[in-house]
Amino acid sequence: MHDVLKPVLVPIHREGWPFIAAFVIGAAILGWIWAPLYIPGVLLAAWCVYFFRNPDRVTPTRSGLVISPADGVVQTIGPAAPPEELDMGAEPLTRISVFMNVFNVHVNRIPTDGTIDKLSYRPGKFVNASLDKASVDNERQAVRMKTADGRTVAFVQIAGLVARRILCTLTIGQDVRAGERFGMIRFGSRVDVYLPEGVAALVCVGQTCIAGETVLADLATAETERKGATR
């Protein structure tokens, strides 16, 4: 019975419980005011539970793999300068942007094994995270890390249109492993990953990613950028 229910009874992120409680209370109040309002109130409360789900993932563990830090769709892949606050220079690197809508899991995960060596939070706007300018204009939490072989990988949590809090639990000097949880963004957002020079993306624009499972790139291969087709 446990194995049957496991895919349904997904753990809830602790950040979600205050919101879930508020939505449940709101549903009760709406139903008390006028009984038919109880139905949309319950649906909203159910959506809130769904939003804060925190499922386990099976992460590929081979050294050198860069794993998606977010559930969602690959919005863009292309050259872009890393955030200036990370002190990585102005030369463009391959950036992979994964956009999360309000129905995706919003728990974020470490993309590769290594050590956190810089963290920088920057306040900003809350424009649609699917727009390219969101990488520059929006509120963001930028993270720089070193891999075991000394290469630099950066990833950036970017607030979206209705996002109002970025949670990042990392600390400088922390050793991390690919697939480990490190935070979340509330209500629609995006995560950018900046690959080391010469490393190609192994996903395509429009591809759906699963945080902690989908391989974005491989630091140990010279494979060229992949192309995709809708079929």
The single residue of 97, 130, 135, 189 carrying the catalytic annotation is 189
Q: Work out the end-to-end distance of the chain between its first and last CA atoms, rounded to an integer number of angstroms.
A: 37
Contact 72, 228 (CB under 8 A): no
**Please, what is the Cα angle at 188 between 183 and 192, to 5 degrees?**
60
Question: What gap in Å lies between CA 88 and CA 81, rounded to an integer?
Answer: 8
Catalytic (active site) residue 135:
no
Q: Which two tokens stand for residue 203?
A: 């996903």
Give me 112's structure tokens. 């590769």
Q: Which two tokens stand for residue 38?
A: 């109880």
Bridge partner list, 73: 99, 208
Reduced to 3 states (helix: H, G, I; strand: E, B; else coil), residue 208 is: strand
DSSP β-bridge partners for residue 143 = 119, 155
Q: How many other CB atoms sit within 10 Å of the CB of residue 162? A: 13
Q: State the virtual CA torsion across 89, 91, 96, 102 in degrees, nearest 10.
A: 50
Task: Read off the tokens for 223.
Answer: 């494979």
Q: Which residues are catalytic?
A: 189
